[in-house]
Structure 1
Amino acid sequence: MSTFGHAFRVTTYGESHCRSVGCIIDGCPPGMELTESDIQPQMTRRRPGQSSITTPRNEKDRVMIQSGTEFGITLGTPIGLIVLNEDQRPRDYGNKTMDMYPRPSHADWTYLEKYGVKASSGGGRSSARETIGRVAAGAVAEKYLKLAYGVEITAFVSSVGNIHMFPPTTEAPTPSQNPDFLKLLETIDRKTVDQFLPVRCPDEKKSEEMADYIAEYKEREDSIGGTVTCVIRNVPSGLGEPCFDKMEAELAHAMMSIPATKGFEVGSGFGGCEIPGSIHNDAFIRAPESDKSSKSGIPRPKLTTKTNNSGGIQGGITNGAPIYFRVAFKPPATIGQAQNTATYDGDGEGVLAAKGRHDPCVVPRAVPIVESMAALVIMDNLMQQIARHGARTHLASLQNRAVSTENSVDRQ
């Protein structure tokens, strides 16, 4: 479906080459200052045409607020956000060859199987163009999270092809055991990440290697995949809805819904399978005084963990430590090289050399998309937890109820 979330609900709309794309946000708290300038920075980071190693499609991706605010203040009613498709070229796809053959590994065939009809140009809803609505909604969620709780969300490119920022070693089979990785998570921010354009890998040497690597694939009219790592700091404890909507399950759902994703791991991830429990377990310690309250004065837990192999989540519930995870993106399916394929009716074979404008590697532009989906997950879970706590305040305290129960037993 095209709607994500429960208490903070986002519905996206639009295809790759239609007139506009955007979203409707339902459940945004009223009374928050919000204008297009709060949303546009993330839209600009996601937009195409940023460098020589991204698609040359020239879209400004200017966001416009259509509803849900007045005089720059949210009303609590549905917020409509729209972005016009200004550089659409459906003619790049409207030719006999493209109409006859599905592109290998693309969604042309599966969409036709599901709906009995498909968009004739681009990827339709399977195109990364659909993510504009996610990024716009994520920016709104992020503003509330930052203002109310001081939440900080930053993603960066951690690998392209076989070039890894933190390659696994015998001593550190997972980044959660790498001191340099853990130190980076403490301070990394978007301003720093964007200093390493066009790749957005915050390591000068690795970033240059990755950029050259992507350029090589673009020159060959081929593509390559990679991974994006994300960290969420200052997350309140107690978020997550066991058993089926655990925090890591919600994050996995969100990330795997992004086009071109093929894998997700949180905390120590798959590398943690190579570490014994005696090392992997995160020991609890008393939280430092500085960690006991957020910027908004909201109480913090009395405990924290000495290590963070759990990635800030235990039992599906946030423990107050930073959440970090990694998302894998496959090589983009649409490439310029001629590829063998079959006709839609299966009666013939042919060769297809796809036209159009496409990224040779999606991970540099996926960074703000990952951040935005993370914001939607945290915001939705926070709204649910606020509702739960609000409902509980109308009842007698647990302590008073316990005393009352004891007295009742004594009387019996």
Structure 2
Amino acid sequence: MHDIRTIRENPEAFDAAITRRGIEPVAAKIIELDEARRAAATKIQEAQSKRNAASKAIGQAMGQGDTAKAETLKAEVADIKQTMPVLEEDNRRLGAELQDYLARIPNLPASDVPAGDDEDANVEISVWGTKRTFDFTPQEHADIGPALGMDFETGAKLSGARFTFLRGGMARLHRALGQFMLDHQVTANGYTECAPPVLVRDEAMYGTDKLPKFAEDSFRTTDDRWLIPTAEVSLTASVQGDLLDETVFPIRMAALTQCFRSEAGSAGKDTRGFIRQHQFEKCELVSIVKPEESEAEHERMTDCAEQILRALELPYRKMLLCIGDMGFGARKTYDLEVWLPGQGAYREISSCSNTGDFQARRMGTRFKPEGEKNSVFPHTLNGSGLAVGRTVVAVMENYQNADGSITVPAALHPYMGGVETLEPTA
């Protein structure tokens, strides 16, 4: 959500920033809606003042025995009472129209975010690790997975496309990775472990900028709750509407949850294999900090996600997303892309975003800095540390052997009950 006062005071700067997003200037339309809403509010205030003055004058007229004047004033009060609902409805409608318009405008990009329309314009910041040299042709995970317990057919039989049934070693590897990620973020990086609901109300989805724009990409229940597309929603919205004490910062939360996405916007993409599922697990990281701390927190959060890849010895690169490839609520985003030798390509495995005060404004979350008269909005950040299913894929492709087996990374041995190799069963 955007600050209407800032837009009123400097519409040119707002339009200059929003046009970097590829959006036509909107400040004039916003100011027009705001002026109409403010005019409606002024009419209500004026009507209330007239009603109060007339009511007071009725008593004075009655005390003076001026019945005719009192009756005239009573008629005036009755007329105002009759028009007030109309004025209040106009005010409500105009306020809702302004709110809805603002809610559909994405966050303004940070000044150092590169221009560009799509992923081709993303900037490589760093590369880590050495790509493994194979003495055989590495296969994609979808080809070696079925023999290891990655059952695509049963998943499809039960639930349709983009669902997978994991068995045996594959199921254990998946569980081990999630537990390793969460344990590391909690013990090594100081995140507070959380187990939030995966069903949330409209307010939580709206506050974290998933509504109204991305309604079609999420699943909704028959009682009007939403299955979370990411634990970012539950974790960030846990402070919705709160006036926080400055001493609580930084707030750092981590959760390993199921996530659900309809993938309506990705029809035809990654339909084969375990890359893009309707149901998946993710270790999510969320930080809520003072505004002056958010840039440093963004770098810290991204490094926390990188630590998992380094511990698993998976080659990856860090990318700064261009404006056209950045999410709706983000002002700056780093993607971590892991190397998949079976595909011969880097693929996204984590996305870490600084949303500034965009989500806090939508949620109505504030804090009062020490010594300041007015409260301000904190900054929120979110990132994957990491996406579990995609990490399973990365381990399979990077640690595959010629006989179809998978070597378990050393970091996971404590979580695998001594199992160091996953052998094919068929």
* TM bin (shorter chain): under 0.3
Task: Return the TM-score normalized by structure 1.
Answer: 0.25
Structure whose CA Rg is larger: 2
Between Structure 1 and Structure 2, the one with more helix by share is 2
Highest RCO, 1 vs 2 (Cα 8 Å, sep ≥ 6): 1
